[in-house]
Amino acid sequence: MRRHAITFSTLFLFAACDGGGTASGPVEGLQGPQQVTIIDSNGGAAVQLLPAGLHAVAGSDYQTDPTRFWVRDDSMQALDTVNMILSSLDQTRYWLETNQGAYRCLVEMDDRSGGERGNQGPAYEEWIVDSTRADRSAPQIVRFWVLNEENGEAAVIHGRLTVTASPTDAQPLGQFTLYFKCLPTGVPSTSTASLFQGYLRTVARTDGRSEVEFFMHHGDPDQAVAQDDYAMRERVHVIADKAAGTGRAYAERRRVEDHGGTPYTEAGEYQLQYDASYVARREVSNGNALEVLDRNDFTACVFRYGIYDATTEARVEQLSGFPIETENGANGWAGFHGIWFPDSVTPTDGQTVYRRSFADNSRTPYTLVVAPGKLVRRERAAVTLGDLADEDLDYFSPSAGGEQRVRFTGSDFVRTAVRVNGEWQVVDPPVSIANTFTTGQWLVFWSQARGSVEFGWPATLTGSVPAYVWSQTTVTADSAELQSGDLTLHGYFRQLRANITSDQANYQNSETPYLPDATTASNGNQTYVFDRDTLLLTLAGNPVTLADGIVIEQGPGLSGLTCGPLFATPLAQLDDMQAQSVSYEWSIGSNPWNQLRTLRDGNGAFVAFDPPLRFTYVHDEDGSPFDGRTFFLEWDGTNLGGIPFDQGDDGRWYPMFNVPSGTTLSADGRTFVVKQLEGEQLMVPVGSPNVVYAAQGFDLDGQSITAPTADPYRDPETGDKPTIAAAPRYVGGVAQQ
């Protein structure tokens, strides 16, 4: 599912639409919440908002698209699941489809995993939605069904959102209920054997305050669970006075698991009270530890941006792809980064798929092309090691297969973590690895934000050493370099073998899938050929792939194996590698991003998709460790990639800097402007919590908030998931033609 979106203070918005008119006129569709949080965000949330007078096209998308920030801390994790449901539901635009019948959507998933630019493209969930309202005074009822996976099991989330009243002075949040449950696929909608179930609701009040309850559970987490089973409970109760900026809340999350007889428990329980300046938080599950957080001292993290034309300030909604479906009706997406289908669908070479037009419901056939490897053409852009200082870079030795996480400190290269049995283990203190490289050795690292980062090991390690990042275009038989036939490529470092064996692929018995690096341009180098007909890289006539039946079961190859850099012209000497602005890279593996997955049209031509817009950005922020550093950002029409993220103690990923609103960027001869759209405030704890607690008159013990129970839950009564033959009406929140 996708993004968190709206603050507690603006929980409800209402949008007029033509919902199939009545005698008194068209029915207005009511828009429910996109996101719920315990505490209002501060009005000055954005790091840098719109520069005064800089952009002033009246009524433009840039001016009218709202910037929304919300408060986040450990006590609010209990709301994550329901907020993912609410923000994903927003992408279906249900309030615009009132009384139009059930329809299908592809909702873009966003796990907020750190802005990784893995050239994988978007992933989606399929939603079926039916939005109704009997008349202008009746409640809005939205039934929805989500194709999902829970604990590795195919499932469907059944939900019903009911909006019954708009905001008033007495009820500033209006009134709504959301009931939901998750059932295994194929189970009747009336089943009570849910994988989880819960509710979110407002509670009617007459004192001008708002009240919200949330409860979700599976099993009983207060009891021991059976072997290899789990139980969980998440609940929140908030009573807030919007006008006074005060409120109280209770929040709990508890999960109990058993792994082969070994129990595991994760729990957090909190009582909160806040005023306009501070939040007092008592962690019940941690000896009632008290913490006071400053609502006016916080770190703001921007998670979503918009890109706009600098002249018209119109939103740039670039979508380089289109929805497709199989003969059996499974929905997917074809785009610049490849083909996406749900995990339950395995695309096969030569399979016919269809592009569906929502406007006339026509079907245009295409042929899937699937190959066990993918060749990409790479064009480089230069940065320096100084630009990379203190960023996490993943590195593994092609010869030994050891995976390391490293950082350039400004004067040294150090190891900060190693991967053991699939998990990263911190190395503290970091250990220098500079003496493991030799002058001229070509090194390849992976950055979550920058993608592949490469450079030749220098004689003297300084911040001015040039390094290179790359933009990529997939090579097909229609690519320019193949118009005269097969493409000959020359390799010197990270050279993959042909017909890779099981021991080689899995780094067993001291074997490796890589050949030794070249010692000179003519000693140890390899000549590869990319076959225009089979779309496979070959070495001495043999495919550079896993041998038949071989599976990668362990080690760094689980994410794929890459061969490169490869060059169309042989090098005279190894040092010439530094001067090559274009190279090629071959990847293999079982993951979609390791394989060629694309389409041919009815004429046999490969479908060409528009690449993301690519910008050069130099960060400007006094006091920031990233001040003056160069980054290459990419806009795919929905997400701005290329910003480095760091993983916090809570396991979530946070941006290491924010791009200010009003920043101008250039690409393809055009100028664009950036605007911050969504983000979080992370409040800073005060140094003397007991002193501030007393001074503010907080009283957590005297008026604690009760814990919600399961009693208000009602079955969503959605009925069985409708079968929809029409094409998706919305993809990622964008209406389809």
**The amino acid at 15:** A
Rounded CA-CA distance 662/308 in Å is 10
pLDDT of residue 539: 97
Beta strands 373-384 and 734-735 are unpaired
The closest of 518, 531, 522 to 482, measured between CA atoms, is 531
Residues 508-555: pLDDT tens digits?
999 999 999 999 999 999 999 999 999 999 999 999 999 999 999 988
Question: CA-to-CA distance for 33 and 172, rounded, in angstroms?
Answer: 13
When computed from its CA atoms, the radius of gyration of the chain, rounded to whole angstroms, is 27
**Which candidate, 465, 575, 461, 481, places its Cα nearest to that of 535?**
481
CA atoms within 13 A on the CB side of 542: 11
The CA–CA distances, whole Å, from 320 to 338, 589, 609, 635 equal 11, 25, 6, 11
CB 256 within 8 A of CB 225: yes
Residue 546 pairs in a beta bridge with 500
Q: State how far the Cα of 264 lies from the Cα of 415, in Å rounded to an integer.
A: 30
Helices (H), 272-361: none
Report the Cα–Cα distance between both ends of the chain, in Å, rounded.
23
Tokens of 241: 């006075």
Token pair for 15 = 């949008």
Q: Give the separation between CA 579 and CA 455, rounded to whole angstroms.
A: 11
Inter-residue long-range contacts of 121-125, CB under 8 Å, 24+ positions, other chains counted = 121/321, 121/333, 121/335, 121/336, 121/337, 121/338, 121/340, 121/636, 122/333, 122/335, 122/337, 122/340, 122/636, 122/638, 122/732, 123/340, 124/331, 124/333, 124/340, 124/731, 124/732, 125/1, 125/88
Query: Cα–chain-centroid distance for residue 496?
Result: 31
For 17, 481, 567, the CA distances from 526, given in Å and listed in that order, are 64, 20, 11
Residue 462 neighbours by CB under 8 Å, 6+ apart? 385, 411
Cα-to-chain-centroid distance, residue 513: 31
Which amino acid belongs to residue 398?
P
Q: Name 595's Cβ contacts closer than 8 Å, sequence gap at least 6.
A: 338, 370, 371, 372, 373, 374, 588, 589
d(CA 34, CA 361): 30
Token reading at 293: 């957080």
- Name the 3-class secondary structure at 480: helix
What pLDDT is recorded for position 499?
97
The ranges of the chain with pLDDT < 50 are: 1-23, 44-53, 111-119
What values do phi and psi take at 635, rounded to 5? -115, 120
Q: How large is the greatest C-alpha to C-alpha distance in the chain, in angstroms?
A: 85
How far CA 438 is from CA of 401, 413, 461, 519, 526, in Å, comes to 18, 13, 12, 11, 21
Q: Which residue has the tokens 């090991």?
A: 457
What is the token pair recorded at 227?
């072997």
186 Cβ contact partners less than 8 Å away, ≥ 6 residues apart: none
Nearest to 544 by CA among 590, 500, 595: 500
Handedness of CA 142, 235, 83, 651 (dihedral sign): negative
d(CA 684, CA 681): 9
pTM value is: 0.76
What value, to the nearest 5°, has the Cα angle with vertex 191 and ends 186 and 195? 80
Q: Give the strand pairing for 103-108 and 730-731.
A: parallel
Name, in order, each residue with C-beta under 8 angstroms of 187's C-beta and a sequence gap of 6 or more: 193
DSSP letters along 32-101, please?
--S---SSPPPTT-SSS-PPTTT---TT-HHHHSPPEEEE--GGGGGGHHHHHHHHHHHHTTGGGSTTS-
Sequence-distant contacts of 230-233: CB under 8 A, at least 24 apart: 230/151, 230/255, 230/256, 230/257, 230/258, 231/255, 231/256, 232/196, 232/256
Which residue matches tokens 């910003």? 643
- Residue 46 has a pLDDT of 43
Phi-psi region of 118 (alpha: psi -120 to 50; beta: other; left: phi over 0): alpha
Q: Where are the alpha helices (DSSP H) in 149-220?
A: none
How many C-beta atoms lie closer than 10 Å to residue 609's C-beta?
Answer: 18
User: How does DSSP classify residue 593?
Assistant: G
